[in-house]
Amino acid sequence: MNLLALLVGLLLDQGLRHLEKYRERAIGIHVLRRFRRYVAARQEHAVALLVLLVLLPAVLADLLVRGLTLLSPVLAFLFAVAVLVLTFGPRDASHLVRRYVDALERHDDVEAHRAARLLLEEAPPSATQGCCDAVAEHLLARVNERLFAPIFWFTLLGPAGAILFWASRSARSAYRPGTADATDTLALAARRIYGVLAWAPAFLLGLSYAFVGGFDTGWSTLRAHGFARVLLAEDGTERMLRTVGCAALAPTLPAGVQGPERVLAARRLMHRALFLWLAVLAVLTLAGWLF
């Protein structure tokens, strides 16, 4: 049933883009920030409290799934689909890439800048070539937290797994260094919790890039990134996926391909990795190893 819920969730993710504003990460961030004074007054227990705040939604989701399953498997299935729609994104990166490339082809610099800013979540480079490179690399790196990590944890733990990763992602955003609600302890703890949960799907995604792209360059680059190096570094999983994705992408591109063509090639690589994941999950489901 998890595979069917994944397929339905992916379809709804593509078909309900007009509802994206209702599933922004700000939902989780707002809830976490309501605890800032409570946590700030108990700095000695800040890490334990943050772990509890991340685990609590996952535990509640698991209890809810168990209760719904007893009432009706259909209700449990619908809840699983709703969780996936919530935890994917919050914005569809593939759609933003298409929007960005279309704007470049129309020479609409304002729309291209707007799409790039939504995708990068920061001010994009002013030069077109530099912006295209940043968009391509960002797509390969951040698609893990937007799509693949929720799929990974949903496959392992069901809706509770997807909620667990979503909560850790929200915690990292809520207590990012430099925000008003962050302390060094909270920021470090949030980054470590997210890094632990993001590492396994990021490694599998990097391996997928190697399989569907240039294997030799992708695999050798992936091997150079150890667990400790990725976990301890700021945005370690994103850096790993950026370098591995670009290494796997390079042999598949004709010489001299740059600009929008490279962005579209990065999106195709991401799509091939997604199809590979779905094919593996389908085989595991048919073998009776997943449900």
Domain that holds residue 51: 2-286
What pLDDT, in 10s, does the model give residues 111-147? 888 888 888 877 888 787 888 888 888 889 888 988 9
Tell me, yes or no, whether 129 lies in a domain.
yes
pLDDT band at 178 (very low <50, low <70, confident <90, very high): low
The domain total for the chain is 1
Tell me, yes or no, whether 291 lies in a domain.
no
- pTM as predicted: 0.88
Tell me, yes or no, whether 195 lies in a domain.
yes
Report yes or no: 210 and 222 within 8 Å, Cβ to Cβ: yes
Instruction: Calculate what percentage of the chain has a pLDDT beyond 70.
Output: 81
Tell me, yes or no, whether 173 lies in a domain.
yes
pLDDT tops 80 at residue 249: yes
